[in-house]
Amino acid sequence: MEIMIQLIIAVVAIIIGIIICILTHSQLGVLITLGLSMVAMVVVAYVAHKKRENKLADLIIYLMRVQDNLSLPAMEGISEGQLGILESEIYKLVTQLKEMYSGEKKQKSYMVDMLSDISHQIKTPLTAITLMTDLLKAPDLSEEKRLDYVAKIDQQTKRITWLIRNLLTLSQLEADMLELKKEKNNLKGMLDGIMETFEIIAEVKDVELSLECPDEVYITCDKQWTTEAISNIVKNCIEHTPSEGSVRIKVEQNNLATEITIVDTGEGIDKEHLPYIFKRFYKAPGASNSSVGIGLSMSKQIIMRQNGNITVESEVGKGSSFLIKLYRV
């Protein structure tokens, strides 16, 4: 646009010069005017050419900065016309490439962390299996000891199988690859099944387990995985509640969401640990040796994938309260 204006001005200057010369009947003036006009046009063309070269040089420097620093510096200004369109398209392309690079980098970091976690979690049972396998080779080993080692190997093998299954499920959830069904389910029926599962465990620990849920409450969810998510929280509450304590499940439903509150009278969680209890493999002080820190992380991923959320409040010595919200919209 700027170049066109300059050219128009030059042409107008030529025309005016010619008109003046004709009116004054001066041939020398005509020649001088034509010469000056030609010079003006050359100067305008040269200036326009230099501006284009400078802009192209700026674009080359910009692309080199992106290539060298793997960053996305802001462009100082966008020109008009075709060159401006080129600058804009280059910036869009660089932005897209930057986003792709960032996504790939995060995915690579995630895979490295996941493989490290899997290796760390499987290392202990594998070491135990290797040790007991060596002990089984002893020629003077009694039959009783042999059967004991075989049973322990079987136990550790099952533990590895459980770990791998849950780790794969968790990785699928985090990568948004696990397909969850959307079906209408009666929540009371789901929670009754969870109560039956943990009834004996709670009775052995002398923990009172109670449920308060209206019969007519329905939620849209994947029944299997939602049951798994709630079960993990109930199990966690029972494990951390001492004898003569209680774990209570209460359900309320409004126009916005279905709320499932799970409250225990257990040992509670320190404030410094609360932000981390839903992180993968996080184990708070006092957790049992059998705990690997997968359950709560998996629960949160399942609930979040179904338009929900989990929050927790806790006080040391008084207990914890988990709130599951499954939104209805």
pLDDT in tens, 286-318: 655 555 677 888 899 899 999 999 999 999 989
**Contact (Cβ atoms closer than 8 angstroms) between residue 268 and residue 318:** yes
Percent of residues, the chain, with pLDDT higher than 70:
69
Distance CA 233, CA 209 (A): 13
Paired sense of beta strands 308-315 and 319-327, if any: antiparallel
**Contact (Cβ atoms closer than 8 angstroms) between residue 266 and residue 242:** yes
Q: What is the mean pLDDT of the chain?
A: 79
**Could you tell me the domains of the chain?**
2-100 (no CATH), 118-174 (1.10.287), 183-327 (3.30.565.10)
Q: Is the pLDDT of residue 141 over 70?
A: yes
User: pLDDT class for 77, splitting at 50, 70, 90?
Assistant: low
- What's the mean pLDDT in 184-213? 94
Give residue 96's pLDDT.
76
Instruction: Please report where in the chains the tokens 């075989």 appear, as a residue.
Output: 150
Does this model's pTM top 0.95?
A: no
Give residue 131's pLDDT.
87
Amino acid identity of 292? V
